[in-house]
Amino acid sequence: MSFSNSVKKILNSKHLSLTTAIMAISLNVQAMDQKAFEKAMDAMPKKGASEKLQALQDLRYRWIMESYPESATYKGYPGVERNWTDQSNAGIERRKGQTRRLLAASRHLDKSKLAEDEQLDYQLLYQDLLMQVKGYQFPEHLLPVNHMSGIQRSVPAVLNAMPKRTAKDYEDILARLDKLPGLIEQTKILMEKGLRQNLTPPQITLRDLPGQIRALVPADPKQSPLLKAFNEMPSSLPAAQQAKLRNQAQSIYQKSLVPNWQAFAEFVEREYIPNATTETAFTKNDDGIRWYAYKVQEETTTDLSPEEIHRIGLGEVRRIRGEMDAIIKKTGFEGDFKAFTDFLRNDPQFYYETKEDLLKNYRDIAKRIDGELPALFGTLPRLPYGVKPIPGYSEKSQTTAYYQPGSKEAGRAGVFFANTYDLKSRPTWEMEALTVHEAMPGHHLQIALAQEQQDIHPLRREKMYTGFVEGWGLYSESLGYDLGLYKDPYNEFGALTYDMWRAVRLVVDTGMHQLGWSRDEAIAYFMENSAKPEHDVVVEIDRYLVWPGQALAYRVGQLKIKEIRARAEKALGTNFNIRQFHDALLGAGALPLNVLESRMNNWIESQGGQISQAVPAAGGAGQTALN
């Protein structure tokens, strides 16, 4: 890549300065080391609030990309594509110190001198830095691996996301492969330190972890997800060059990757799992009550306590259960709720016999949805997306589906990954709601639109606030009716099952971590109130155990968005336009829920509406409950 093209790639917004672009190319450092950071801080403008804000945003964005090269790969940011995040103790402490410096610098900025549109930039920058620094009081870095996340999952995903068009691209992949033993060792050291402090994921959740690791280094290199790029090389590369690159990759694989990953799997199997905590409540960790409360605040971007969220969840479960009972009557089924859910879980009519047929139906649903979107949205993303199966090395312990953002800069489409493992746990009645959530108008539409916003800083374009992002995904499920979905009562019940799924999360996540529920009690509660197959329920419960608080953001975010929409409909009356509302809601990228509400209140007033008392969201949770 030429220097000029690299600068152009970084300068994908008027908000990223030329100085920062040139520095990002010229330094080409393994990470933003202290010397480079100090140099950038010393170059910070001394006068002018706008100039200082611009420089802080530029530096923060550059800091994220260079401190976390995996993120740079996903975003198409050049210059660090041969590196991994430095997970040494020195690297972790360096990043903490640099973040504190950025927070201090933002505090000394006179925000009263910023223009109106800059006020939001400042608020988000300061709020994000403050939340990150608050988190440093907890030893999160000592929990680097669980069955849902960690190097066994992130490494093959990053390698797969890297460009694969030129010899230089493949040399970058080789460089990353060559550095993997160091990353594995750093991760192992953190896990050993966690063991000494009795800080690990719950033992019961780690049962599949050794298998996940070993799946990366099968006997046949061609079957390894680490070498997938070298089995699918472009024809534009000469055959001799392909052979040379492939041989280099296989040499690294046999001499370095196989023994290091195998040793890591043995460490996990023989030392980590046997000595892992048998406690399931996150609050059982040292200072766990405060730590869990922090996670809840971070994920939901609200001040709701775990107890408040638990109460909201119980109310939502009761409400949705009533709607589900009404659908059962509509189908003419003779039997109670348990009998109906057993019918949905076990009747062959609701299951495919081949993975190919399952994926084909997902793609058919996605195609039908795409044609209905202009009725609900004035602006649609240009970036395409595809539907693919979840990779085999992780499918057993992975959730039903997930979305991976694309990148125009990296030349990569968004992907809706669907789980094809154990077809008897993949019912057809869940497919419409799942597609709406993960693809369009859910995650792909929202994230791709944010990426394509040219009038906001890249720092904001790429930001993910779970409460907003997942709240939007869940809100999108409710749009299925407007998109011509859920016409079949079983599919409608499936949509309610997914609604119930997220309501149950509020109850069981807080129940297990705050209120003393056991894992078995959480599984039983989930099964009693949902038609989801038992395998999915177990996977979900184990997810909440290793990602405490994360799953709460879905329902909290959805309720807030519904509340804002209800307020807008009441204030604007016949002047309410759903396309304009959605465009306004998504037009500033992802936002914390408190910021989103304030911004949308201003939009309602700009449209001629008058904000009065709160309008409860559909589902009964009003402003008082969610503020």
Residue 135, pLDDT score? 98
Q: What strands lie across the sheet with 401-404, from one edge to the other?
A: 385-389, 414-418, 401-404
pTM of the model: 0.87
Give yes or no for residue 537 having a pLDDT over 70. Answer: yes
Give yes or no for residue 154 having a pLDDT over 70. Answer: yes
Residue 177, pLDDT score? 98
Given a contact cutoff of 8 angstroms between Cβ atoms, the answer to whether 402 and 417 are in contact is yes
Query: Mean pLDDT highest for which of 42-51, 451-460, 582-591?
Result: 582-591
Distance in angstroms (rounded) separating the CA atoms of residues 226 and 393: 11
Distance in angstroms (rounded) separating the CA atoms of residues 298 and 465: 9
Residue 31 pLDDT class (50, 70, 90 cuts)? low
Distance in angstroms (rounded) separating the CA atoms of residues 190 and 200: 10
Q: How many CA atoms lie within 13 A of 273 on its CB side?
A: 17
Q: Is 403 helix (H, G, I), strand (E, B) or coil?
A: strand
pLDDT tens digits, 430-452: 999 999 999 999 999 999 999 99
Q: Is 532 left (phi over 0), alpha (psi -120 to 50) or beta?
A: beta
Look at residues 328, 346, 347 and name the one whose alpha carbon lies nearest to residue 337.
Answer: 328
Given a contact cutoff of 8 angstroms between Cβ atoms, the answer to whether 559 and 619 are in contact is yes
pLDDT tens digits, 311-332: 999 999 999 999 999 999 999 9
Give yes or no for residue 225 having a pLDDT over 50. Answer: yes
Give yes or no for residue 616 having a pLDDT over 90. Answer: no
Given a contact cutoff of 8 angstroms between Cβ atoms, the answer to whether 268 and 210 are in contact is yes
Residue 531, pLDDT score? 85
Give yes or no for residue 132 having a pLDDT over 90. Answer: yes
> Around Cβ 142, how many Cβ atoms within 10 Å?
17
The identity of residue 54, as a single letter, is Q
Q: How many CA atoms lie within 13 A of 527 on its CB side?
A: 16
Look at residues 574, 599, 562, 581 and name the one whose alpha carbon lies nearest to residue 378.
Answer: 581
Give yes or no for residue 15 having a pLDDT over 60. Answer: no
Given a contact cutoff of 8 angstroms between Cβ atoms, the answer to whether 428 and 364 are in contact is no
User: Phi/psi at 419 (nearest 5 deg)?
Assistant: -85, 120
Distance in angstroms (rounded) separating the CA atoms of residues 343 and 336: 11
Residue 189, pLDDT score? 98
The identity of residue 148, as a single letter, is M
pLDDT tens digits, 343-385: 999 999 999 999 999 999 999 999 999 999 999 999 999 999 9
User: Phi/psi at 401 (nearest 5 deg)?
Assistant: -170, 165
Measured CA to CA in angstroms, residue 48 lies from 19, 52, 55, 113 at distances of: 17, 6, 11, 8
pLDDT tens digits, 54-70: 999 999 999 999 999 99
Q: What is the mean pLDDT of residues 145-152?
A: 96
pLDDT > 70 in the chain, percent: 93
Q: Greater confidence, 137 or 615?
A: 137
Cβ-proximal residues to 39 (8 Å cutoff; 6+ apart), any chain: none
pLDDT > 90 in the chain, percent: 83
Look at residues 532, 564, 368, 335 and name the one whose alpha carbon lies nearest to residue 467.
Answer: 564
Q: Is 589 left (phi over 0), alpha (psi -120 to 50) or beta?
A: left
Strands (E), 379-443: 385-389, 401-404, 414-418
Measured CA to CA in angstroms, residue 384 lies from 198, 433, 582 at distances of: 45, 20, 20
Residue 530 pLDDT class (50, 70, 90 cuts)? confident
The token pair that represents 573 in the structure block:
């009356």
Instruction: Kindly give the pairing relationship between strand 401-404 and strand 414-418.
Output: antiparallel
Residue 338, pLDDT score? 92
Residue 378, pLDDT score? 97
> Around Cβ 231, how many Cβ atoms within 10 Å?
12
Look at residues 483, 448, 493, 491 and name the one whose alpha carbon lies nearest to residue 469.
Answer: 448
pLDDT tens digits, 568-590: 999 999 999 999 999 999 999 99
The identity of residue 499, as a single letter, is D
Cβ-proximal residues to 626 (8 Å cutoff; 6+ apart), any chain: 302, 304, 312, 556, 559, 560, 563, 593, 617
Residue 410, pLDDT score? 81
Distance in angstroms (rounded) separating the CA atoms of residues 591 and 572: 23
Q: What is the DSSP letter of 205?
A: G
pLDDT tens digits, 466-475: 999 999 999 9
The token pair that represents 325 in the structure block:
């009972």
CA 565 centroid distance within chain: 24
Distance in angstroms (rounded) separating the CA atoms of residues 526 and 585: 32
Give yes or no for residue 19 having a pLDDT over 60. Answer: no
Distance in angstroms (rounded) separating the CA atoms of residues 224 and 215: 7
109 membership: H or E segment, kind and range: none
Distance in angstroms (rounded) separating the CA atoms of residues 605 and 588: 17
Q: Which residue reads 């290091």 in tokens?
A: 260
User: Phi/psi at 242 (nearest 5 deg)?
Assistant: -60, -45
Residue 610, pLDDT score? 87
Q: Is 335 exposed, middle or buried (0-12, 13-18, 19+ CB in 10 A)?
A: exposed
Give the lowest-confidence range in 1-5, 156-160, 213-217.
1-5
Residue 613, pLDDT score? 52
Residue 26, pLDDT score? 34
Q: Which residue reads 């080391």 in tokens?
A: 33
Cβ-proximal residues to 359 (8 Å cutoff; 6+ apart), any chain: 387, 388, 389, 418, 420
